[in-house]
Amino acid sequence: MAKRYAEVDGSRCVACGECVYACPRKAIAVRGGCYAEVSRETCVGCGLCEKRCPAGCITMLQREAVHG
């Protein structure tokens, strides 16, 4: 599993869809025409969506290590 994942600040998202087009894994969808949402399970942490976001509302976060 990727070490990072994208997270969208829904309060700043303008639902432009640029992140959706940038994502090579189709891990992002615009919900109800209001904000983008990332599937953490599908996101590989490449950061392309963060770079493409004109609103600057996407950040890359570190996944917590799972010890088992």
What are the C-alpha distances in Å from 33 to residues 3, 10, 41, 46, 58?
29, 11, 22, 24, 17
Mean pLDDT to the nearest integer, 3-7: 96
SS3 29: strand
Whole-prediction pTM value?
Answer: 0.88
List the end-to-end C-alpha distance of the chain, in Å, as a whole number: 15
Among 3.40.50.920, 3.40.50.300, 3.30.70.20, 3.10.620.30, name the CATH number for the domain at 4-62. 3.30.70.20
* Distance in angstroms (rounded) separating the CA atoms of residues 40 and 54: 21
Note the pLDDT tens digit of each residue in 8-42: 999 999 999 999 999 999 999 999 999 999 999 99
